[in-house]
Each structure stands twice: as structure tokens, then as C-alpha cells.
Amino acid sequence: MDVFFAHSVKHQPESQWQRLHEHLAAVAQFAEERAKSACASDAEFVQAAFAAGLLHDLGKYRPEFQRYIAGKPPLGSKNHSQAGAAKAFAARHAPITFAIAGHHIGLPEFQELK
């Protein structure tokens, strides 16, 4: 698969769908701007917001999610938050992990996240 999508538009050709790399970059930029507005003096906070934006939909690169985007039955879970959360957790960035894991469903309990 050469092209990955973040969102599809029903009854529109794939050329109108949002590409995943563009979505991730846009969300990262938006999160960074919002973090700067909130606390420009905290460079670590601003960087964390950018990283969370880049990672938040990482699981959409999975073939199962791309099938779902295309309107086909997924062959597995269509959950897409866990991949980016796992990357952040492996890098020992707990706040980013919680933000990514909860970006659709709310912040999880620590034991649930494990």
C-alpha cells in the first residue's frame, strides 16, 4: 500500500480523501500552536504537544484501519489510538501516552492503559 488515508468522504473519489501524513502534520502543527499559546515559555510542553499530534493516529497506518476507511469490513480492530500511545509509552512519555490513548474516548486509568 503506497497511500494511507486519515479520513474518507462517502461518495467521493479517493483523490478527495485526506492523506494520513498530511493529517498528522496538520494536527501536530495545530497542537504546537495551541501549546505555545497556553505556555510559550515551556519548550518541553510545546514539543510534547507536537509529538502527540504526530503520533495520535499512528494506528491508521494498519491495513485493518485502511480497509475500514475504504468502507470494507475491517479484518481486525479499527482502534487506531493504541499504536501511537504504545510508541509514547516505550519512549517513557507518560503524559503524551495518556493524551493519545484518550483522544477519542477520554483519559484512561493507568492500569487500563497498561
Residue 20: phi, psi to the nearest 5? -65, -45
Enter the C-alpha cell of residue 2: 503506497
pLDDT average per 10 residues of sequence, the chain (114 residues): 86 90 97 96 95 94 90 78 90 88 68 62
pLDDT for res 9: 81
Cβ contacts of residue 47 below 8 Å, gap of 6+?
none
36 C-beta neighbours (distance < 10 Å), count:
16
Residue 19 bridge partners (DSSP)? 5
Distance (Å, whole) CA 91 – CA 104: 22
Global pTM value: 0.84
